[in-house]
């Protein structure tokens, strides 16, 4: 059991909800491609390969239901991106949502950015619970009233109506990326955000769609000389001039936008030294960083590569301060993981609200949590079999040696099609959202 | 005397490599299956594949004619040509054309 956020109590993860269809045949469009809580944790957004966004809202905790925290129910759903065609290159542009990032809430409406491979959109989600009735020129169903029948002037009155949640695209940030967008990140100045593709990073102003600043460009003059690509990027949570980006070679560069307009020269370069004698064909591939996330404190950052999660102190560039093995038993399976392309899977990682724990996904619908203080770790499974309300999740174990104990699963029995690539942790509470292909699981810690 | 000691140290290192490093053992396995891996010139295949990830190619008459012109003096490519070829080097065939997209329906998460 892991020490809890609330000061020393062990917590026990329990099933809360699962969303999505049960059928075995998963339509590609239903595969969840991103999960993100908003800044308060009241809303939870998912994006999928079909370009759709579904937003869940936590219901208010009622005094009657003390035993469970509020559940997440559908709040809004809309088609964010549609398939497009690039006629010039004769290529299809997928509608798959790569990332969703929420803007901090500033008024009654909620705003989020959603990005596919080429275009970022700013969506406004607002509630309407009143409508005006008693118009002079038209009647209630919108038809124009017969002018001769209008004999008096009346003032329309606002009447309550059933809550309607509307999503409307407020900005479309297009045509700024030649390569595929892998990251978007809202800046702490609440005015700008960055978007990163394989070779370039752009800085946008939220109000301006017809131009953006290119702040990183690693495209070589001769593409034959290409040795690495950008894999992820994020703005610092407090310092609006600082951002980081990770590469396919396992390095992270921290850049300061005050230093130059084009941040091709990094301010800090993070790389763990590699033992040259242990180098293999797979070394570079498995060192490729698939996700980078700053801690809430802004003092640390976490990177995810194929087999591990590393925590870096921003003040120390030459090695990470903590390394956690996610599924080291896969090291002896790299050949087949290369052949079935699994070695290129991009796992994400996330911090809990207090930065005391981190979480990331694995195969067989397993996900892993690490407590940074106690150094304890746990493997849990997102499965319909453990989906009784408030059922406690049992820790899972993968057997690597010869003798398999009861309840353990051997490496060769793992289902590599059941990957948990996207997970999210509520910003303040111990509530987590785990995307398992086309299903979204929500787990909470047991309330004592 | 020292030569012998050196040889056995090397042998030991080799043994250690396959025994201690599962990664190296996996590499040996992979090279056995794909002897030409990593020997093709012209930039990293993996990176190029990544830059063009998942892109479907449709028939383009410009591509087709350019490819035909290039192929004039060479043999025709085999049917199993990579879908990741750069524009103009590859003649798309009907088998390469992707299925039509599904019509847009609501997400099942919203129920």
Model confidence band, residue A400 (pLDDT cutoffs 50, 70, 90) = confident
Average pLDDT of the residues in B5-19: 54
For residue A199, the chain B residues in CB contact (below 8 A) are 51
Which residue of chain B has the CA closest to A337?
B26
Better pLDDT: A93 or A61: A93
- List, in order, residues 6 or more apart from A190 with CB less than 8 Å away: A103, A104, A106, A206
Q: Which of residues 6-45 of B touch A (CB under 8 A)?
A: 21-27, 29-31, 33, 37-38, 42-44
* More reliable by pLDDT, A313 or B74: A313
Among A386, A370, A441, A389, residue whose Cα is nearest residue A69: A389
Extract the tokens encoding A44. 């939870």
| A108-117, A136-145, B33-42: which is most confident | A108-117
* Amino acid B52: pLDDT: 76
Select from B52, B55, B85, B48 the least CA-distant residue to A227: B48
Q: Name the CA radius of gyration of chain B, rounded.
A: 24
218-237 in A: which are within 8 Å (CB) of B? 223-229
Q: Residues A133-138: what's their mean pLDDT?
A: 89
Averaged pLDDT, A227-239: 97
The Cα A309–Cα A322 span in angstroms is: 8
Q: Categorize the per-residue pLDDT at A38 as very low, low, confident or very high, splitting at 50, 70 and 90.
A: very high
In angstroms, the CA A405 to CA B14 distance is 34
Interface test with B, best of A48, A85, A91, A401 (most B CBs within 10 A): A91
Which of B6 and B62 is assigned the larger pLDDT? Answer: B62
Which pLDDT value is given to residue A367? Answer: 98
Find the closest chain B residue to A225 by CA distance.
B43
Predicted TM-score (pTM) of this structure: 0.86
Residue A311 has pLDDT above 50, yes or no: yes
CA-angle at A383, arms to A378 and A386, nearest 5°: 85
Predicted pLDDT of residue A3: 37
**What is the side-by-side order of every strand in the sheet holding A230-235?**
A230-235, A242-247, A252-256, A268-270
To the nearest whole number, what is the mean pLDDT of chain A? 93
CA distance B9 to chain A (A): 15
pLDDT confidence tier of residue A199, bands split at 50, 70 and 90: very high
> How much is the average pLDDT of A156-171?
96
Checking if the pLDDT of B74 tops 90, the result is: no
CB contact under 8 A, B102 and A21: no
A36 touches chain B (CB under 8 A): no
User: Is pLDDT of A68 > 80?
Assistant: no
Question: What's the whole-number mean pLDDT along residues A330-339?
Answer: 95
Helix B22-33, helix B2-20: angle, nearest 10: 80
pLDDT at residue B38 greater than cutoff 80: no
Give A 271-330 residues with CB within 8 A of chain B. Answer: 278, 280-283, 285
Give the range with max mean pLDDT: A387-401, A413-427, B4-18, B21-35: A413-427
User: Contact B109/A54, CB-based, under 8 Å?
Assistant: yes
Residue from the list B24, B48, B102 with its beta carbon closest to the beta carbon of A280: B24
């Amino acid at each position: 059991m892991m020490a809890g956020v609330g000061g020393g109590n062990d917590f026990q993860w329990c099933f809360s909800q699962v969303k999505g269809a049960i059928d075995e045949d998963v339509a590609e469009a239903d595969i969840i491609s991103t999960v993100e809580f908003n800044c308060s944790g009241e809303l939870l957004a998912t994006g999928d390969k079909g370009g759709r966004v579904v937003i869940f809202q936590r219901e208010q905790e009622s005094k009657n239901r003390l035993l469970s925290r509020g559940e997440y129910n559908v709040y809004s759903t809309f088609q964010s991106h549609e398939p497009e065609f690039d006629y010039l290159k004769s290529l299809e542009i997928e509608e798959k949502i790569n990332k969703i990032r929420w803007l901090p809430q500033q008024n009654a409406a909620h705003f989020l950015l959603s990005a596919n491979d080429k275009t970022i959109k700013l969506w406004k989600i607002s509630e309407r619970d009143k409508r005006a009735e008693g118009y002079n020129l038209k009647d209630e169903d919108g038809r124009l009233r017969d002018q001769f029948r209008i004999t008096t002037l009346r003032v329309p009155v606002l009447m309550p109506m059933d809550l309607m949640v509307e999503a409307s695209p407020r900005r479309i940030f297009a045509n700024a990326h030649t390569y595929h967008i892998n990251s978007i990140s809202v800046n702490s100045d609440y005015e700008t955000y960055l978007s990163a593709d394989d070779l370039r990073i752009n800085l946008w102003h939220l109000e301006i769609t017809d131009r953006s600043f290119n702040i990183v460009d690693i495209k070589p003059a001769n593409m034959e000389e290409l040795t690495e690509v950008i894999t992820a990027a994020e703005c610092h949570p407090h310092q609006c001039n600082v951002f980081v980006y990770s590469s396919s070679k396992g390095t992270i560069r921290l850049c300061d936008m005050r230093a130059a307009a084009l941040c091709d020269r990094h301010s800090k370069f993070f790389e763990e030294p590699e033992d040259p004698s242990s180098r293999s064909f797979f070394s570079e591939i498995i060192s490729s960083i698939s996700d980078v996330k700053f801690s809430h404190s802004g003092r640390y950052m976490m990177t995810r590569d194929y087999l591990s999660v590393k925590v870096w102190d921003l003040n120390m560039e030459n090695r990470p301060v903590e390394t956690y093995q996610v599924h080291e038993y896969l090291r002896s399976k790299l050949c087949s993981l290369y052949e079935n392309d699994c070695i290129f899977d991009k796992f994400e990682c996330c911090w809990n609200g207090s930065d005391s724990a981190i979480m990331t996904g694995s195969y067989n619908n397993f996900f892993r949590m690490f407590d940074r203080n106690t150094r304890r770790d746990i493997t849990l499974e997102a499965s319909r079999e453990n989906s009784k309300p408030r059922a406690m999740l049992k820790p899972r174990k993968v057997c690597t040696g010869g003798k398999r104990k009861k309840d353990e699963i051997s490496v060769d029995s793992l289902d590599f099609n059941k990957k948990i690539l996207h997970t999210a942790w509520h910003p303040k509470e111990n509530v987590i959202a785990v995307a398992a292909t086309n299903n979204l699981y929500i787990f909470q810690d047991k309330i004592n | 005397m020292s030569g012998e000691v050196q040889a056995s140290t090397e042998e030991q290192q080799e043994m250690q490599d396959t025994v201690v490093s599962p990664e190296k053992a996996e590499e040996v396995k992979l090279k056995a299956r794909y002897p030409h891996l990593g020997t093709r010139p012209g930039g990293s295949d993996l990176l190029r594949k990544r830059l063009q990830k998942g892109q479907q190619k449709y028939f383009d008459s410009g591509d087709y004619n350019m490819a035909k012109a290039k192929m004039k003096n060479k043999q025709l490519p085999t049917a199993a040509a990579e879908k990741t070829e750069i524009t103009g080097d590859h003649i798309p065939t009907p088998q390469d054309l992707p299925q039509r997209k599904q019509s847009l329906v609501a997400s099942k998460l919203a129920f």
